[in-house]
Amino acid sequence: EEASLKWDGTITLGPLESKGQLVLENLKLDPVTAYLRESMPIDSLSATLSTSLDYHISMGQGGQLGIDISDVQVDLRDTVIKALTPGTEIINVPEITLTGGRFQYPEQRVQFSKLNIANPRLAAWLEPDGRLSLADLAPASSATVENEAPATEQSSWYLGVEDLQLSGGVVEFSD
């Protein structure tokens, strides 16, 4: 099936405000691989994404941006990640679903009612030097630059999932 994007809503420019519903169906994520390679050593990512959500975006008094995204449903199918040694399938998840989601800004809050991961398969091994293979997927830390301005203190985001379900699954490990 081809990917499709459906939008139903309104946009007002003075003051800026938009309300509506977005539905994205059957988006192939394979092209994302090129971007991920910049931060982690993966050979390929394949998956199909479908999502739907209601949203309200507004610019309040003083230019404060407000975003409220609700009733978020995400369906990620046939997720396969190959990495580390060429062609090694390290992650294979037939289905990941997130339901009952909400994103709020400037509150910096992301909440889902349910996360379901069905039949995941993970492959890992010990490298000859004793390191866990999956550790190589972590992005390299950037070197500290002299005379770099100190980072400003920012408040943390809240991420919550009320119900996590993991059904089936296999972890393959070798040393």
For residue range 58-86, what is the model confidence (pLDDT) as tens digits?
Answer: 998 788 999 999 999 999 999 999 987 77
- How far is the C-alpha of 131 from the C-alpha of 125, rounded, in Å? 8
pLDDT at 148 over 60: no
Quick one: which H or E segment has residue 90? strand 89-105
Task: Give, rounded to a whole angstrom, the gap between the first and last alpha carbons of the chain.
Answer: 41
Q: What is the mean pLDDT of residues 11-16?
A: 90
Give me the phi and psi of 139, to 5 degrees please: -60, 140
- How far is the C-alpha of 117 from the C-alpha of 111, rounded, in Å? 17
pTM: 0.81
- How far is the C-alpha of 142 from the C-alpha of 80, rounded, in Å? 28
Mean per-residue pLDDT of the chain = 89
Q: What is the pLDDT of residue 151?
A: 56
pLDDT at 144 over 50: no
pLDDT at 97 over 50: yes
